[in-house]
Amino acid sequence: MIKFHLDQKTGIPYYRQIIDQIRFGIASGKLAVGEQLPTVRALAVELKVNLNTIAKAYKELEIQNILETQQGTGTFINSTENKMFESERHQKLQSIIRDFTTVSLSYGFTIDELINELKNQKKWKPTSM
């Protein structure tokens, strides 16, 4: 089971930190399809936040078809619709890239600089995860 943790100092809202950790857990294979997540209450106690904060995170991921929740049963990594269609996956990638390039160009960075820097990041591991 994945180990969650929250950091007050980052300024990133709790529910979003949880979302990120679940997303990254799936992407990195630490969370398996069909696996049950902690109950909202259990995780709320463990992380010392309100159960609604957990529920909010789970809810957002459910809307994105990443989680499956059953009232009375629990919350699970979605087994049926977990994979995005290739088209929407590509759309998402493009939207991320567009935001990224907009910011970068406004700072005067060229796309070549971005590409070069990315190549140096290949072995990188997220700091807050």
* Interface positions with a second copy (CB under 8 A): 20, 23-24, 26-28, 92-94, 96-98, 100-109, 111, 113-115, 117-119, 121-122, 124, 126-128
Q: Which of 71, 102, 106, 127: binder of DNA (CB under 7 A)?
A: 71
Q: Which is nearer to a second copy, 9 or 48 (CB)?
A: 9
Sorted by sequence, the CB contacts under 8 Å of residue 94 that are 6+ apart come out as none
Min dist CB 45 to DNA, Å, is: 10
Residues numbered 36-55 forming contacts with DNA, rule: CB under 7 A: 37, 39-42, 48-53, 55
Sorted by sequence, the CB contacts under 8 Å of residue 15 that are 6+ apart come out as 53, 54, 56, 57, 60
Give 60-84 as a 3 state SS string: HHHHCCCEEEECCCEEEECCCCCCC
Min dist CB 14 to DNA, Å, is: 3
Burial class of residue 98 (count of CB atoms within 10 Å of its CB; 0-12, 13-18, 19+): exposed
Token readout for 60 is: 């957002």
Does the footprint of DNA cover residue 58 (CB under 7 A)? yes
Neighbours of 27 (CB within 10 A): 9
Min dist CB 77 to DNA, Å, is: 12
Q: Which residues bind DNA (CB under 7 A)?
A: 13-16, 37, 39-42, 48-53, 55-56, 58-59, 62, 69-75
